[in-house]
């Protein structure tokens, strides 16, 4: 079996084996039933739609991370790009005096531009100040979060709401929902983007060059690839996808920017975990993103039904990440782009 597939299947096999062993106990069967109901059941499939909504955000962040990792760029600043993209989308949605469709398109493009710019900033810091992209992109998450928090706490706060949040965006510009559900059309936008990334990565010249640069930067440079342009273009695409995901979160589920709404659920870090669990394989990344989405909503169901704290789901996720950190460490070091 391919080594990368083993990285994907082993943690799933471990979780499955553990569940089968524990199902011998009545309490465990009740907990598993509550988990499945919390992730996929509920009245009128409410919990399933909640899982799909969380999956759409996780998938967007995972594809953002995947694009940069495949190119050998350890950009882990998706959280900052997501936050600023969401904040920008909210401000455009509130203050742009235009027809609803124009507002939505302008908010989407502005969110993508800001996300791309924040990712490129990390690249400029690496090239200009010799700060590794891994460190620079990580550190840029903090000012992004503080900027967004300040914006919705002071100049753009909806004071009358009593919460730390922006005003509600133009209602007609928000993403419509599937009839009778809480799930919005943002999942189609992110799903289409994920499919496009997967196809282009395998079928386009740009995707081939990105892959080759990730496998061996010296080889790509010696082969005459425009490595300098590829570096910044890849960061732009990665940041733009994260910014687009911020737009979906604001114009879909919340229709405003709420302080902490994109950081407290750890979307970005879970997206990184999904990419690592998929062994940085594009087609497998949506599967692992869905796994983590179901894990989070199922854990809430267990807490609600049988009193098992939702943190148990986070513990399971942490165990998987610890396993992956050992297996994927060499993989990521090889993708570090030595000689850049």
Q: pLDDT digits over 43-88, tens only?
A: 778 889 999 999 999 999 999 999 999 999 999 999 999 999 999 9
Tens-place pLDDT, residues 232-279: 999 999 999 999 999 999 999 889 999 999 998 889 999 998 998 888
In a domain, 235, yes or no: yes
In the predicted model, what is the mean pLDDT of residues 127-142? 95
Residue 66, burial from CB neighbour count under 10 angstroms (0-12, 13-18, 19+): buried
Q: Is residue 339 part of a domain?
A: no
Question: Quick one: pLDDT at residue 25?
Answer: 57
Residue 140 to residue 149: CA distance in whole angstroms: 14
Domain total of the chain: 1
Domain assignment present for 172: yes
Asked if pLDDT for residue 3 goes beyond 70, the answer is no
Range of lowest pLDDT (14-18, 132-136, 263-267): 14-18
pLDDT at 338: 44
Domain that holds residue 65: 3-334
The band of 333, judged by pLDDT with boundaries at 50, 70 and 90, is low
Q: Return the number of other C-beta atoms located less than 10 Å from residue 202's C-beta.
A: 12
Contact 89, 251 (CB under 8 A): yes
Give the pLDDT band of residue 298 (cuts 50, 70, 90): confident
Say whether pLDDT at 17 is over 70.
no
Report the alpha-carbon distance of residue 99 to residue 198 in Å, rounded: 34
- Comparing CA positions, the residue from 325, 242, 239 lying closest to residue 277 is 325
pLDDT of residue 23: 56
| pLDDT of 5 strictly over 60 | no
pLDDT at 117 over 50: yes
Q: Rounded distance, CA 112 to CA 120, Å?
A: 12
Whether 340 is covered by a domain: the verdict is no
Segment (H or E) for 228: helix 227-248
Which residues is 258 bridged to in the sheet?
A: 165
- If you search the block for the tokens 């620079």, which residue do you land on? 136
Using a 10 angstrom Cβ sphere, with 0-12 exposed, 13-18 middle and 19 or more buried, the burial of residue 41 is middle
How far apart (Å, rounded) are the C-alpha atoms in residues 202 and 281?
11
CATH number at residue 91: 1.10.3470
């Amino acid at each position: 079996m391919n080594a990368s597939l083993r990285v994907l299947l082993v943690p799933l096999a471990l979780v499955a084996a553990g569940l089968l062993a524990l199902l011998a106990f009545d309490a465990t069967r009740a907990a598993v039933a509550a988990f499945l109901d919390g992730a996929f059941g509920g009245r009128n499939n409410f919990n399933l739609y909640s899982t799909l909504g969380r999956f759409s955000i996780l998938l967007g962040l995972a594809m953002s991370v995947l694009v940069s990792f495949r190119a050998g760029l350890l950009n882990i600043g998706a959280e900052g790009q997501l936050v600023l993209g969401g904040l920008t989308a909210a401000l455009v949605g509130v203050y742009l005096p235009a027809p609803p469709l124009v507002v939505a398109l302008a908010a989407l493009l502005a969110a993508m531009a800001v996300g791309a710019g924040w990712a490129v900033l990390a690249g400029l810091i690496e090239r200009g100040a010799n700060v590794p992209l891994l460190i620079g992109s990580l550190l840029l998450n903090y000012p992004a979060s503080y900027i967004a928090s300040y914006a919705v706490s002071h100049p753009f706060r909806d004071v009358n709401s009593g919460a730390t949040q922006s005003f509600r965006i133009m209602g007609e510009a928000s993403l419509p929902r599937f009839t009778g559900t809480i799930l919005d059309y943002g999942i189609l936008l992110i799903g289409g983007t994920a499919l496009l990334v997967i196809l282009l990565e395998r079928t386009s010249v740009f995707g081939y060059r990105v892959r080759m640069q990730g496998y061996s930067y010296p080889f790509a440079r010696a082969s005459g690839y425009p490595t300098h342009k590829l570096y910044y273009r890849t960061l732009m695409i990665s940041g733009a996808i994260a910014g687009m995901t911020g737009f979906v979160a604001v114009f879909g589920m919340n229709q405003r920017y709420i302080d902490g709404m994109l950081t407290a659920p750890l979307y970005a870090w879970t997206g990184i975990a999904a990419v690592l669990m998929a062994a940085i394989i594009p087609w497998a990344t949506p599967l692992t993103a869905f796994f983590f989405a179901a894990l989070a909503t199922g854990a809430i169901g267990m807490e609600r039904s049988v009193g098992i704290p939702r943190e148990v789901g986070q513990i399971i996720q942490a165990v998987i990440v610890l396993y992956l950190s050992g297996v994927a460490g060499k993989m990521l070091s090889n993708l570090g782009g030595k000689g850049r």
